[in-house]
Structure 1
Amino acid sequence: MRSKSEEKRQNILNAASEVFRETGFEGASMSDICTKAGYSRATLYSYFPSKEALFLEIMLAGGQSQADAITSALDPATPNVEESLVHFGKALLTFIYSPEILALRRLAIAEATRSDFGHLFYTRSRKQGEIVLTAFLKQAMDAGKLRQADPAVAVAHLSGLLESELEEMFYRSEITPLEPLYIDRITHSAIDVFMAAYGARG
């Protein structure tokens, strides 16, 4: 059974979801959310410090299970690092280039110069994935499955390779899901290049 505090927090999230759906992020205000939820501004701010934090909580909650499934592909005990990275890459691209998540990423970039939304989005989402991927690559390097290198730099290179053919997606007016065969081709191409650079020598 949820506590009163948890119930109140969920009520705020539900009210905020309705307001965001009705008015969009730009048109929504904390006052509107207070009115919809039936709580004071002090109560609202005691749970969420800003509209950006509230919006981010709503958006990320729906994708958390999928994000967990993506990182679960990175099994440190795997004998085939390349295969694990392919599974990871395909799942990652399918998720971060879905219409909902891509729209959120574009919003984070647009808001970066006006609020802390961009930074919040990065630390709550992409940064968490980078931490898991860095640990995976380091363990693979220590086990001799990849050549020794700075794993954080390797993560940056891998991310760049996976997204290198998809930059135009950020500039399209209409966002549609990527075809599985297209994602498969892009992922294999990116991992081929990554393994050529970071594969174990000899």
Structure 2
Amino acid sequence: MTERKRLRGDERREQILQATMTLFIDRGFEGVTMADIAEATGMSRPNIYTYFPSPAAVLDQLLDDALEAATADLLPLMASGVVPDFAALLSTLVQHRHLLLLMHCGGGPQLRSRREQFDDALIGALVERLSSERVQRRPELVPLVTALLSGLIYECVVRERPSCDPAQLGHSINAFVRGGVQAVLAQEDPRPGPERLP
């Protein structure tokens, strides 16, 4: 009989995090119990509790770690004065897909709030990079571009739709977003005025 290697505390903690991340992604947050985590890691439940008091605490730690890593890679793409490169953004998000999967694995209001904060920061920063005085005068552009980018990220990165290959989209997404913004800006103001019928 082979003797099981004894792990140090930090190695056990990492083992719990990795096993639980897989469980959350496969089953959703609500489908994972401390007993499931114990079974997946081969540890006892009391041992798991010495590191984390609940599945929610494990998810919080996973999100903290994943956000820290993703932020380090995303910030240079969204520096002030830098024209957004949506192809590079998609490529970076693909590398951090586990973060987006964790954010979409279920959970209560606290997780939804974290997801919304991340989305607002990411998409908001990108839309801001597209902004100009003319864009600010056409506020309907903000939700249009925001919805396009949010949907694209969800379909390509989270759902991994085969028709949404991020590498292929990278060739056209920059031109598509900028061209769409320019097309809207080139239009006359479509809002009805007193002399126009709605």
Is the shorter-chain TM-score for this pair beyond 0.5, marking a shared fold?
Answer: yes
What's the TM-score, normalizing by structure 2?
Answer: 0.56
* 1:104 positional shift: 0.7
Q: Deviations over 1:98-123 (max 9, x none)?
A: 69349717x72x626xx347504514
Deviation at 1:96, TM superposition (A): 4.0
The structure having more radius of gyration, on CA atoms, is: 2
On the 8 A contact 1:71/1:132 being kept in 2, the answer is no
Q: Which residue of 1 aligns with 2:49?
A: 40
Q: How does 1:14-163 map to 2 (within 5 A)?
A: 14-21=15-22, 24-26=26-28, 28-31=32-35, 32-33=37-38, 35=44, 38=47, 40=49, 44-45=52-53, 51-52=55-56, 54-55=58-59, 57-58=61-62, 61-62=65-66, 64-78=68-82, 84-85=83-84, 87=85, 89-96=86-93, 100-101=97-98, 104=101, 108=104, 111=106, 115-116=108-109, 119-123=112-116, 125-133=118-126, 136=129, 140-141=131-132, 144=133, 146-149=134-137, 154-162=141-149
- Structure 1 segments unaligned to the other structure (5+ residues): 1-6, 79-83
Which sections of structure 2, spanning at least 5 residues, go unmatched?
1-7, 189-198
Pick closer, same or farther for the CA change 1:129–1:170 going to 2, 3 Å.
closer
- Work out whether residues 30 and 51 of structure 1, in 8 Å CA contact, stay in contact via their aligned partners in 2: yes
**1:118-177 Cα shifts (integer Å, max 9, x gaps):** 50451453233245346545xx53xx4x432377x6443223234666776589687698
- Specify whether residues 19 and 191 from structure 1 end up closer, same or farther in structure 2 by C-alpha distance, changes over 3 A only: same
CA shift for structure 1 position 70: 2.9
Alpha-carbon contact 1:93-1:183 (below 8 Å) kept: yes
Q: Mean Cα displacement is larger for which, 156-165 or 178-187? A: 156-165
Equivalent pair of 2:156/2:164 in contact (CA under 8 Å) = no
Read off the aligned partner of 1:187 and give its amino acid letter: N
> Which residue does the alignment assign to 2:178?
191
184-193 vs 166-175, greater mean Cα deviation = 166-175
| SS class of match (2:80) | coil
Partners of 1:15 and 1:37 within 8 A in 2:
no
Report how many residues are paired: 172
Counterpart of 1:3 in structure 2 is: none
Q: How much identity, in percent, do the aligned residues show?
A: 12
> What letter is aligned with 1:122?
R
**RMSD, matched Cα:** 4.7
With over 3 angstroms needed to count, the CA separation of the structure-2 counterparts of 1:51 and 1:182, relative to structure 1, is same
